[in-house]
Amino acid sequence: MRNIWTIAKREFNQYFVSPAAYVVAFVFLLILGIIFYGQLGGTVVYGGSPQVVQWVFGPFVTLVLFLTPGVTMRLLAEEQRSGTMELLLTAPLREWELVIGKWLAAFAFMAVVIFLTSIYFLITNAFTTPGLDRGTILAAYVGFLFMCAAMLAIGVFTSSLFVNQIAAFFATMGVSLALWLVGFLFQQETGVVADIVNYIDLSGHFYNNFYTGVIDLSDIVYFVSITALFLFLTTRTIESRRWR
Amino acid sequence: MESSSLKRYAPYALAVGGAGLLVAAVVALLYRQFNTAVQVSLVVGLIGFVVAILFSPGSVSAWFGLRQARYGSNALVMTLAFFGIVILVNYLVTRNSVRWDLSEDQINTLAPETIAALQALPQPVKAVGFYSSNLFSQQQSTTELLRRYQVEADGKLTYEFFDPVGDPVTAREYNITRDGTLILEMGDQREEISFASETEITSALVRFASPSARSVYFLTGHGERDPQDTADSGLSVIADLLAKQNYEIKTLNLQVTDTVPADARAVVIVGPLQPLSQAEVDTLGRYLQQPNSALMALLDPPAQTQAPGETVADPLAEYLQTAWSITARNDVVVDFANSFPNQPLFPLNAGYESHPITDRLQNISTVFPVARSLEITTTNTSLTLTPLVKTAAGSWGETEIDSLNSDAGPVAGAGDPAGPLTLAVAAANSTTKARVVIFGDSDFAGNGAASQGANANLVVNALNWATLDETLISLVAKVPTERTLQLLDALTANTIFFVTVIAMPLAVVVLGGVVWFIRRRHV
């Protein structure tokens, strides 16, 4: 566990010394801020209840599809490019500890970014009578954290496959988008194949329940499975460097 | 056994194997089914691989002898095992999942009545939805609702969707005439639902479990509109819709009997040309003293049914006034603004009042050709009266009937009731458990106008509500708590703008700059 913690801490600190993280956070907060303010103003003018979960998490989900590849592309690709991967593999450190440490750092960074969005809910809640539906917001946050965990695991995996960070970025985005959109193929169909494909669909597990205020154990298990699966595959990929 | 001549063909066999699997995948994707072509391609592909191995077994064993192959196959087995565990866990959890609805109003949770109805189902039920791409969001909400049913149904409810435009054959098979229709099937029983809601679906499930026919009696003997009549003035359109919801439509002439049949779930009176007699109204009054009795009356203005200048007593109107506090005024609604073009006597509704009858009409308009207005006169503590449809503020109830045919046309006078006017009222008596729905027009339900907007659905919804099982009466669509956003002044709005659009992004940039500066100094 100490190895995981050491790596996670080191990687987490790396995010805050890199200008890229600040640029990403700036763009992300600017876009969300503009959308939030526009929606808030529209609700004040035209009436209606403040759908702040939709205002924030609607665009946030789209942004995350670009944000997670940016957060994870460096993690293992950079180690391979600079040749430090060999050093890590000879260190008293298991592959899975390295992988989980890297993923944990990325997850902690994303959690910080996600935490920043709470300001939008606090502001809206202050001016809403009788206040926002906190249960729905909590469910949306829980779901979003699980979804980000899964997407970051995908990112860590693709980062282990490439030396080039740009390739890792686009590969992560491609896999995440494919899992995000796969449900569209069978959205009007039923049957075993459609059921399986729709179950694999990443977006469905977020939008169908968490987004509406429901926490379903099967959604949690799905996101945990995707996370575990891709972290396992990453471990196997790194391990394969020993015998390839 | 390996011969060099056979070994030469091994790559070709391997190519055939790969091509077979590829073709199988493409055909399966195109046809979306495991048809003969897919099966044949799959078999050809597998045979190709087997033949390749048989032709060149040495290559295979040599490959397995490599160090990479040993470690690789070890990793592959571990990966497959991990995949298997993940799939198994997901399968088991999906079959036995647990849900927590964290929303304050529990808007994602089915009512206890629904869960009881699902548990009482004797056979599996299949829901078949027909939604075109134009109604995608409606399909999404129906899917979400059916998913909740499926979770609670313990395998007794399945659902599928078809696009009635893309798949007209299936739509015809189910006799679908309207986009956005949901069919529920259990064995031979079938129910059609126009606007999927928990109330509608659960009501259908309850009827599946106890399949007694829902007999509704259409009154005859006074020139009422005929449910069998397919002419513009007939009611066959409405009757067809009711039949699809398993209503049994019968007729009743109270001039030949002084009792309403015991199996009547409702008595329906549509546009009588002659007033009912006092004896007939007394019979209806006795019937409406019984629990779960219902009356739906569509009453045209007297100006439409009586000769000019004639004033005939209407015992039914008097009964509705005294027993149900609903006055059917002797006027004709005029609206020059919110009506059919150049048809001021054809007013449109100006929105709907909130009620289970109108909640699912989704603001689709209804038009009432030549209507009278209704008035809720007093409120009795045991009566719950709800106006359903109102006209626009610019309308009025013309009481000078002669002016309707004058050259100058109708003008709002001092004695005319001013808009917005009520055109339909729903009433429930908590003591007798009887329900009535009164409309100030019957033309809107006739075949000529029933297809306009939500006219037909308004009638069907009204009858569904009037005949709703008492145990399901509390099962109405959940209304989330109304939350209003109030920004006090411009300064507050500007402060929010500054914080969210300028300060927060800028703070990140400043923080980044500070870190960069500190690091630069340490280097």
For chain A positions 9-68, those within 8 Å of chain B (CB to CB) are 16-17, 19, 21-23, 25-27, 29-30, 33-34, 36-37, 40-41, 43-44, 47, 49-50
**Closest to B481 in 3D by CA, of A166, A100, A135:** A135
Q: Count Cβ neighbours within 10 Å for each residue of B382-419 and write b for 16 or more, e otherwise.
A: ebebbbbbbbbebbbbbbebebbeeeeebebeeebbeb
CA distance B207 to B222: 33
* Residue B515 contacts residue A20 (beta carbons within 8 Å): no
Stretch among A108-112, A121-125, B209-213, B372-376 having the lowest mean pLDDT: B209-213
CA distance B361 to A49: 21
Contact of A196 with chain B, judged by CB distance below 8 Å, is answered with no
Pick from B103, B492, B511: CB nearest A135: B103
pLDDT band at B436 (very low <50, low <70, confident <90, very high): very high
Q: Provide the shortest C-alpha distance from residue B243 to chain A (in Å).
A: 28
pLDDT band at B333 (very low <50, low <70, confident <90, very high): very high
Helices (DSSP H) in chain A: which residue ranges?
Answer: 2-17, 19-46, 52-82, 84-90, 95-116, 118-126, 134-161, 165-185, 192-200, 202-207, 217-240
pLDDT band at B90 (very low <50, low <70, confident <90, very high): very high
CB pair distance less than 8 Å for A228 and B108? no
Q: Which residues in chain B have their CB less than 8 angstroms from residue A36's CB?
A: 500
Q: Count Cβ neighbours within 10 Å for each residue of B265-290 and write b for 16 or more, e otherwise.
A: bbbbbbbbeebbeeebbebbbebbee
Helices (DSSP H) in B362-479: which residue ranges?
Answer: 447-450, 455-466
Overall fold of domain B112-191: Glutaredoxin (3.40.30)
Token pair recorded at residue B484:
């209003």
Whose structure tokens read 């303010």? A37
Q: Beta B343-347 vs B294-298: how paired, if at all?
A: unpaired
Whose structure tokens read 């979804």? A147
C-alpha dihedral, B311 to B313 to B318 to B319, nearest 10°: -150
Residue range B174-201: mean pLDDT, rounded: 87
* Distance from the first to the final alpha carbon of chain B: 71
pLDDT band at A54 (very low <50, low <70, confident <90, very high): confident
Residue range B174-180: mean pLDDT, rounded: 87
Estimate to the nearest angstrom the gap between the alpha carbon of B341 and the chain centroid. Answer: 30
State the pLDDT at residue B1.
47
pLDDT band at A194 (very low <50, low <70, confident <90, very high): confident
Q: How many cross-chain Cβ pairs, A to B, lie less than 8 Å apart?
A: 171
Q: At residue B473, does pLDDT exceed 80?
A: no
Residue range A103-118: mean pLDDT, rounded: 92
For every residue of A2-33, which 3-state class applies, written as one string? HHHHHHHHHHHHHHHHCHHHHHHHHHHHHHHH
State the pLDDT at residue B2.
46
- Those residues with Cβ within 8 angstroms of residue A201's Cβ, 6 or more apart along the chain or in another chain: A179, A180, A182, A183
**Of all helices (H) and strands (E), which one includes residue B472?**
none
Helix (H, G, I), strand (E, B) or coil at B49: helix
For chain B positions 72-101, those within 8 Å of chain A (CB to CB) are 72, 75, 78-79, 82-83, 86, 89-90, 93-94, 97-101
Contact of A192 with chain B, judged by CB distance below 8 Å, is answered with no
pLDDT band at B121 (very low <50, low <70, confident <90, very high): confident
* Residue B326 contacts residue B387 (beta carbons within 8 Å): no
The pLDDT tens digits of the residues spanning A64-81 come to: 888 899 889 888 888 888
Token pair recorded at residue B327:
């006055």
Q: Which residues in chain B have their CB less than 8 angstroms from residue A129's CB?
A: 483-484, 486
Beta strands in B377-448 (DSSP E): 383-390, 396-398, 422-429, 435-439
State the pLDDT at residue B469.
65
State the pLDDT at residue B477.
55
The pLDDT tens digits of the residues spanning B57-83 come to: 877 777 766 777 777 777 888 888 999
State the pLDDT at residue A195.
79
Which of A214, A219, A231 to mutate against chain B (most B CBs within 10 Å)?
A: A214
**Closest to B209 in 3D by CA, of B124, B334, B151, B150:** B124
* Residue B261 contacts residue B218 (beta carbons within 8 Å): no
The pLDDT tens digits of the residues spanning B233-292 come to: 899 989 988 887 778 899 999 999 999 999 899 999 999 999 999 999 999 999 999 988
* Residue B351 contacts residue B185 (beta carbons within 8 Å): no
Residue range A175-203: mean pLDDT, rounded: 82
Q: At residue B405, does pLDDT exceed 90?
A: no
CB pair distance less than 8 Å for B496 and A26? no
Contact of B66 with chain A, judged by CB distance below 8 Å, is answered with no
For residue B100, report the phi and psi dihedrals to the nearest 5 degrees.
-125, 120
State the pLDDT at residue A16.
84
Token pair recorded at residue B8:
């030469």
For residue B292, report the phi and psi dihedrals to the nearest 5 degrees.
60, 20
Contact of A141 with chain B, judged by CB distance below 8 Å, is answered with no
Residue range B493-500: mean pLDDT, rounded: 90
Q: At residue B3, does pLDDT exceed 80?
A: no
pLDDT band at A217 (very low <50, low <70, confident <90, very high): very high
Angle between helices B36-55 and B57-65 (to 10 degrees): 80
Q: Sign of the CA dihedral B409, B415, B420, B425?
A: negative
CA distance A145 to A150: 9
Q: Which residue of A has its CA nearest to B72?
A: A240
State the pLDDT at residue A188.
61
For residue B268, report the phi and psi dihedrals to the nearest 5 degrees.
-120, 130
| Amino acid, single-letter form, for residue B287 | Y
CB pair distance less than 8 Å for B90 and A19? no
CA distance B110 to B475: 10
| CATH class given for the domain over B219-472 | alpha beta
Q: Provide the shortest C-alpha distance from residue A241 to chain B (in Å).
A: 11
